[in-house]
Amino acid sequence: MVEAAGKAGRPMVVVEDHYGGPYSLGFNGRVETAGWKAVGLATSRIQDVADVVRCFRVLRKPGATADDFLAAAKDVYHKNIARPVDFIFRADQVHVNDIGQCVQKLRESKTLLVGRDPKAAGPAIKEEFGVQVIPIELAELHQAYLKADPAEAAKWADRWIAGAEKVVEPKRDDVVKSGAMHLAMQELMKKHQARAISINCLGGFYGGQLQAYPCLGFVELNNDGFVGACEGDLSSTVTMLAMGYLTDRPGFISDPVIDTATNQIIYAHCVAPTKVFGPKGHRILTISVAIRRIATGGRPLVDALEYLTTTLKFVPGRREVVLHQAISVANVDEDKACRSKLACYVKGDIDKLFSGWQHGWHRVTYYGDLKEPVKELCQTLKIKVVEEA
C-alpha cells in the first residue's frame, strides 16, 4: 500500500512501529529521490506523530497541493528532532595493532558460511580483503552437533547458567543443546582452519535443519577473539574479522532502531559479547543473549555505559565502509524484537543517519573511538569511508 500510494503521489506519513522492522531506515532519502509526497517517522514520542499528521490540514486550503503538505510536514518533522547536546563520555584507551599485520592476517583467514550461498559477496571479499569464504551445508553442522560429546556440552551449559544472573525462560536441556552447538561450530572451524563462522541460523532452526541456536557459542567465540556472526551475513562477518585484527575487541552485530525524539540509536540483536573491551578486558555485569535462552531482567550494563562507540559495516563489492559514532547510555529492557538492546546517543546528525541509511539493516558496534584507525586501514585496502551521521 505504501508503494502504491507513493507512486500515485498521495500525501502520506509513514510511522515506524519501534522494533517492528527496518522499513523506515533510509525511507526519507529514498522517497525524496523518487519524488513521493511522503515523510517517514521513527520516534518514541506520539506527539511527534500527531504534529506531522496535523499537516494534512494544509490540504483543506483552497488551491493547496501535495507539495504544500510535504513542505509543512518536513518542517514539523525537523523541528521535533531532539537537538544534539554535548555528552561527556569515559576515557577508553584502545590498543590499535599494526595495519600491515592486520592486512596480512586477513589474507590468511578463512570464514565458514553455513546454510547460505555466498553469491557475489564471496569473490568480492576474497578480492578486497583476501579472506576465503568456505560454504558449508547446514547438514554438515547438524552432523557435527549430533556427534558432540554430551558431557562437554553439559559442562558448557553449567558454566553459562552459573555465569548468568538468573535463568528466566529455558530449561537446562535447552542450554545443553546450545553447548552441543558450540562444540559443533568449534569442530567445523578446526576442520577447515577457519577464524570465523556465520550461520543462516533462523532458516536452519525454523526449517528443522538445526536443533539449537548458535548464539551462546557465538558469545564465547567473540569473547575469545574469534568471530561468530549472525544470520549468514558475510558483510558483518568480514567487518568483525577486520576490526578484531585491528583492535582485539569483539563487535556487537545489530538491527538498529532510530529514535529521533531522544537522538538515540538502539542497537538490538540476539548476541552481544560480554567482553566488549577485548578478551583481556573486564566482563559486562549483565549477560543477555541467545534469543530468550538466558536472560536477566532489566539491570543496566553498568560497566559499559557512557563510552564512545564506533559502528560500521564494510560493503564488499563496493569498496566502501559506512561508519558512525555514538555514546552508550542505556540497556533497553523491552520484550519486542531482539533480546539485547544497547541505546546510544548519536554523535552527529541523527536525521542524516536516519534518512540516508543504506546497505542493509545490520551494523557492527565497537567500544572505542576507532574512526581514525578505520580510515587508516581503509586507506591501505583502498576502501572509501562514508560517515553516516
pLDDT for 307-345, tens place per residue? 999 999 999 999 999 999 999 999 898 888 888 899 999
The predicted pLDDT at position 335 comes to 84
> Which letter does DSSP use for residue 294 in this model?
B
The domain boundary, picked from 80, 108, 137, lies at 80
Which range is least confidently modeled, 156-170, 188-202, 272-286?
272-286
| pLDDT of amino acid 310 | 98
Q: What is the DSSP letter of 81?
A: S
198 vs 357: CA distance, rounded Å: 24
Mean pLDDT (the chain) is 92
Q: Which H or E run includes 92?
A: none
Q: Is residue 92 part of a domain?
A: no
Assigned domain for 11 exists: yes
User: Does pLDDT of 295 surpass 90?
Assistant: no
In a domain, 88, yes or no: no
pLDDT band at residue 212 under the 50/70/90 scheme: very high
pTM attached to this predicted model: 0.94
111 and 240, same structural domain?
Answer: yes
Indicate if 293 and 181 belong to the same structural domain. Answer: yes
Give the DSSP letter of residue 285.
S
Q: What is the pLDDT of residues 83-116, one digit of tens each?
A: 988 888 999 999 999 999 999 999 999 999 999 9
Residues 176 and 228 occupy one common structural domain: yes
Distances (CA, A) of 336 to 23, 101, 255, 339, 370: 16, 42, 12, 8, 31
CA distance 51 to 45: 10
For 309, residues 6+ apart whose C-beta sits below 8 A from its C-beta are 325, 326, 327, 328, 344, 365, 366, 367, 368
150 and 221 inside one domain: yes
pLDDT digits (tens, 9 = 90+) for 12-70: 999 999 888 888 999 999 999 999 999 999 999 999 999 999 999 999 999 999 999 99
